[in-house]
Amino acid sequence: MLTFDDLLLRARSLAGDGRRRTLLGIAGSPGSGKTTLAERLVRELDDAAHVPMDGFHLADVELDRLGRRDRKGAPDTFDAAGYAALLRRLREDADEIVYAPGFERVLEQPIAGAVPVAPTARLIVTEGNYLLLGTGAWARVRAELDEVWFCETDEEERVRRLVARHEAFGKGHEEAVAWVRGTDQRNADLVAGTREGADLVVGPL
Ligand SMILES: Nc1ncnc2c1ncn2[C@@H]1O[C@H](COP(=O)(O)OP(=O)(O)OP(=O)(O)O)[C@@H](O)[C@H]1O
Ligand SMILES: [Mg+2]
């Protein structure tokens, strides 16, 4: 079983001699621990930056226009083409700060300009559900990434964590459970099917 230190070593060797930027992706179902792992890696590494796919959620006003608000979190509720373009820019443009959008969990809205990536960042760790999906613009996202890891967590534990997180950010218990069993589960099943495309599967740490 891989330990966190194994992953740290692998991330370090990916970053290599630092002449060019390296992009590491972390995929996995909702609540599988992608953000936690990315933040931990970036904390331990010098010259690494965390860029979440979550920043590319479409805003509620656009989801309303599309009639997709109740499916928030599904692949077509993200700006996948914009995400791919940002990843390309991060690879090519290392002379100035590049701003990525963030995601605000209380508002559940993307926020432009929330994540600065310094010119000194050599390893970009980006994470989200659909990095390995391979359909439409998601294929361009995968093509920008040097390596993609897949976070896998025991299903019961994953659901328990997800309900707890929805509650922590303001949903009532019933509402949290309904969302996790409904919308989140559909997305989780879709993501689970992309596991084979990963370079590495990461279990519980
Ligand atoms: N190794 C771990 N041990 C215990 N709890 C963890 C661990 N990793 C993550 N968690 C908890 O599980 C929840 C989900 O983790 P995290 O937010 O990292 O998942 P995620 O894959 O980024 O989810 P999402 O797809 O919804 O963004 C969080 O509340 C986090 O604190
Ligand atoms: Mg996350």
68 phi/psi in degrees, rounded to 5: -120, 15
User: What's the burial of 202, exposed, middle or buried (CB within 10 Å: 0-12/13-18/19+)?
Assistant: buried
The 10s digit of each residue's pLDDT in 83-106 is 999 999 999 877 899 999 999 988
Q: Please, what is the average pLDDT of the chain?
A: 95
Alpha-carbon gap, residue 92 to 85, rounded angstroms: 11
pLDDT band at residue 183 under the 50/70/90 scheme:
confident
Going along the chain from its start, the domains and CATH numbers come out as: 4-202 (3.40.50.300)
Tell whether ligand 1 has an atom less than 6 A from the beta carbon of residue 205.
yes
Distance of CA 193 from the midpoint of ligand 2 (Å):
19
- Give how far the C-alpha of residue 140 lies from the chain's centroid of Cα atoms, to the nearest Å: 15
Residue 29 Cα to ligand 1 midpoint, Å, equals: 10
Residue 35 CA from chain centroid, whole number: 7
Share of the chain above pLDDT 70, in %: 99
Taking only the tens place, the pLDDT of each residue in 20-48 is: 899 999 999 999 999 999 999 999 998 99
For range 171-196, the mean pLDDT: 94
Q: Which long-range contacts (CB under 8 A, 24 or more apart) does 34-41 make?
A: 34/127, 34/128, 34/151, 35/127, 37/7, 37/127, 37/151, 37/202, 37/205, 38/125, 38/126, 38/127, 40/4, 41/7, 41/8, 41/11, 41/125
Query: What are the tokens at 27?
Result: 């995929």
31 Cβ closer than 6 Å to some ligand 1 atom: yes
Q: Which parts of 63-199 are beta strand (E)?
A: 98-104, 109-117, 123-127, 147-151
State pTM to two decimals. 0.95
* pLDDT of 105: 87
Calculate mean pLDDT across residues 154-168: 94
Closest protein CA for atom 14 of ligand 1 = 31
Kindly indicate the confidence band of residue 18, based on its pLDDT and cuts at 50, 70 and 90: low
How far, in Å, from the CA of 189 to the mean position of ligand 2?
Answer: 17
Q: Which protein residue's CA is at the shortest distance from atom 25 of ligand 1?
A: 30
